[in-house]
């Protein structure tokens, strides 16, 4: 394997972006002759030309274009590494990995984590969205320190602590034929045109699986990244959607109707899960659980 000099990679990137060896050299605080020699040595080691030299500067060859994309990713990775390490140099005391479902991430965790960071500013948290069964498995195996799930299962190696209550509801345009109803069964609306979160999100996967269990499928018209987009599209008349009630505190307009979903699984009993005894050996994990579950 070839060993690449970080200086050479930075120089290559600068020359490629500037379209000039001299300007690239200046950006890297090198003399033009030194930069030119470094680029030439790099090309010789690779056994291919990276640049086409011209009277007005340089341009990338096809191979140079390929290398440019890789070098940019390498530089971005190094910058991210520096960013991730900086908090430790500034006195970071703890890093926690937190897995949660989409509902909790969009509804409850932003405010709770804001309060936690206000009290413990030197802690860093990696928060990732996962399905409930994935969260339980990750916490039990030590790949995550803590999780929030809404599935009604237990695990011999985990403690489960009540967190937040929520429920799924159906939202429809105010002019929709269901708008006058108070509640509805899931099977009654499977034939509707749906607005959903993007494929891969926990809520999307959950609802698609529930439809499959009923022998149906969702006719999805639009998939969007967040619940704000879902509610706006429903309000505009584009389709119907199932969303957590907690993301609708401000949606009380004449353009949308909210129906209770008459299904046992519509109730969302969110619980914090963590390994048994974990709080005894991790002070900041104990502090986080205290803030999340103080209710």
Per-residue pLDDT tens digits for 131-190: 889 999 999 999 999 999 998 888 999 999 999 999 999 999 999 999 999 999 999 999
- How much of the chain, in percent, has pLDDT values that exceed 90? 75
Hey, what are 8's tokens?
A: 């050479």
CB 270 within 8 A of CB 165: yes
pLDDT at position 190, please?
93
CA 67 to chain centre: 28
Distance CA 64, CA 70 (A): 10
Phi and psi based region of residue 200 (left: phi greater than 0; alpha: psi -120 to 50; beta: remaining)? left
Distance CA 213, CA 190 (A): 12
> Residue with structure tokens 């030194």?
34
CB 178 within 8 A of CB 170: yes
Measured CA to CA in angstroms, residue 141 lies from 152, 160, 280 at distances of 19, 15, 18
Distance CA 186, CA 289 (A): 34
Query: Does residue 207 sit in helix, strand or coil?
Result: helix
Burial of 144 from C-beta contacts in 10 A (0-12 / 13-18 / 19+): buried
pLDDT at position 251, please?
53
- Residue 214's pLDDT band (cuts 50, 70, 90): very high
The residues facing 126 across adjacent strands are 97
Q: Mean pLDDT across the chain, nearest whole number?
A: 91
Pairing mode of beta strands 241-244, 158-173: antiparallel
Distance CA 143, CA 157 (A): 14
- Residue 25's pLDDT band (cuts 50, 70, 90): very high
Q: What is the pTM of this model?
A: 0.65
CB atoms within 10 A of CB 288: 26
- Residue 124's pLDDT band (cuts 50, 70, 90): confident
Distance CA 168, CA 244 (A): 4
Range 127-136 burial, b when 16+ CB lie within 10 A, else e: eebbbbebbb
CB atoms within 10 A of CB 29: 7
């Amino acid at each position: 394997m070839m060993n690449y000099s970080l200086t050479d990679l930075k120089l290559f990137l600068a020359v490629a972006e500037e379209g000039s060896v001299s300007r690239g050299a200046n950006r890297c605080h090198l003399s033009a002759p030194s930069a030119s020699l470094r680029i030439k040595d790099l090309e010789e080691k690779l056994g291919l030309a990276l640049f086409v030299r011209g009277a007005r500067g340089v341009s990338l060859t096809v191979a140079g274009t390929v290398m440019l994309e890789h070098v940019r990713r390498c530089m971005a990775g190094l910058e991210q590494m520096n960013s991730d390490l900086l908090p430790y140099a500034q006195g970071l005391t703890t890093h926690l990995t937190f897995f949660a479902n989409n509902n909790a991430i969009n509804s409850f965790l932003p405010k709770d984590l804001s309060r936690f960071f206000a009290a413990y500013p030197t802690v860093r948290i990696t928060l990732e969205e996962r399905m409930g069964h994935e969260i339980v498995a990750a916490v039990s195996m030590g790949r995550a320190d803590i999780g929030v799930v809404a599935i009604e299962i237990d695990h011999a190696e985990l403690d489960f602590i009540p967190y937040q209550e929520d429920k799924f509801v159906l939202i429809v345009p105010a002019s929709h034929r269901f708008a006058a109803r108070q509640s509805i069964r899931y099977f009654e609306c499977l034939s509707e045109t749906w607005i959903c979160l993007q494929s891969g999100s926990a809520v999307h996967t959950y609802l698609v699986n529930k439809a499959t269990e009923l022998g149906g499928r969702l006719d999805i018209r639009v998939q969007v990244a967040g619940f704000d987009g879902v509610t706006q599209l429903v309000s505009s008349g584009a389709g119907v959607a199932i969303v957590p009630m907690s993301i609708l505190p401000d949606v009380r307009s004449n353009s949308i109707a909210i129906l209770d979903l008459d299904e046992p699984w519509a109730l969302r009993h969110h619980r914090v899960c963590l390994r048994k005894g974990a709080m005894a050996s991790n002070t900041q994990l104990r502090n986080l659980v205290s803030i999340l579950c103080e209710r």
